[in-house]
Amino acid sequence: MPIEFRCTHCDRLLRTPDGTSGKEAKCPQCGAIVKIPEQAQQASAPPPVPEPSPHVETGNPYQSPSTTMMAARPQGEMRRGFHPARIEFSDVLSRTWQIFKANLWPCVGVAAFLLAISYGEAIGFAIFTGGRRQTLPESLFSLAFGVVQFWLTLGLMTYFLKTARGEPAEFVDLFSAGPFLLRAMGISIIFGILVLIGFILLVVPGVIIMMMLSPSWLVLIDRNVGVVEALSMSREATNGNKLTLSGLYIVIMFASSFIILFTCGLGLFFVQPFVLLLFCVCYLAMTGQSTADQASAR
């Protein structure tokens, strides 16, 4: 009879073959080494769950049935918190695609709203100035609109974070990022300075810093922490994941460019929300939290 137990670090349900009690197994979700309990201790374990997918061999004979899918959980139960874990390239892409398909038009709609505001302002301002040099009032207006756009972008990230998690996301979420605005601006300033220094020294350090601190805004929105703590937690979450993140960003960049060019720009209305959703799914996976495709109920 298989032995079922939960990882003491990320609470993932693990299943090992009979006769493995007392040995050690590596959790495929967070990478922690846990001791397999004795069979007699399984009385407190939850009832068996259906196999999510055929077993995939990854070199660990004591892992749970799949490294790309979490075991089924009770209806409506979701994991929150901050438990850094390793992510897999194909896993986050697959999970993002499933969530995107289930929320296609709401995601496209809110992203298109922000795109329309951005392009509308740019075109209107270009027509108003007529290509001449901006006056001081016009420059101040442009700066103020940039702040508003940044605020709306944070709201858009809030919307997609809820969607990725499987929580109800509403249009009003676009206007809910006010409490985070100043701290997000502080993160942006520090982020920009560090990345610039990295690129000045060598290109590679700049890329590493970009990957390391890229989830900082999502950490801020999700955990409601200070600027320094958001940057520190971002570094902790991306530890061991920077190479995977780089691969994802490179693939998405080339694929997005091809789609946008092939569709004469119309693909942007679908590419942008997918990329934002992917970014949120990566963050939740890196911090050991549930995503919408893993929740039995929304």
Cα–Cα distance for residue pair 286/142, rounded to 1 Å: 36
Nearest to 208 by CA among 219, 195, 220: 195
pLDDT exceeds cutoff 90 at 191: yes
- Please give the Cα distance from 222 to 186 (Å, whole number): 17
pLDDT tens digits along 245-256: 999 999 999 999
Residue 59 resides in a domain: no
Examine the domain organization and report whether 244 and 191 are in the same domain: yes
Selected residue with higher pLDDT from 283 and 36: 283
Residue 50 belongs to a domain: no
> How many structural domains is the chain composed of?
2
Report if residue 128 sits inside a domain. yes
Closest CA to 149 of 116, 101, 108, 102: 116
pLDDT attached to residue 18: 78
**Is the residue at 83 inside a domain?**
no
Q: Are 121 and 31 members of one domain?
A: no
In a domain, 187, yes or no: yes
**Region for 131 from its dihedrals, namely left if φ exceeds 0, alpha if ψ lies in -120 to 50, beta otherwise:** left
**Same domain assignment for residues 106 and 248:** yes
220 and 140 in a common domain:
yes
Q: What is the pTM of this model?
A: 0.73
pLDDT, residue 12, reads 74
Predicted local confidence at residue 15, as pLDDT: 78
User: Do 151 and 251 have their domain in common?
Assistant: yes
Residue numbers of the domain that contains 199:
89-294
Q: Does residue 63 belong to any structural domain of this protein?
A: no
Looking at the fold, whether 15 and 108 belong to one and the same domain comes out as no
**Average confidence score pLDDT of the chain:** 83
Q: In the predicted model, is pLDDT for residue 295 greater than 70?
A: no
**pLDDT tens-digit profile of 27-85?**
776 777 888 887 644 434 444 544 444 444 444 444 433 333 333 344 445 678 899 99
Separation of alpha carbons 143 and 136, rounded Å: 10
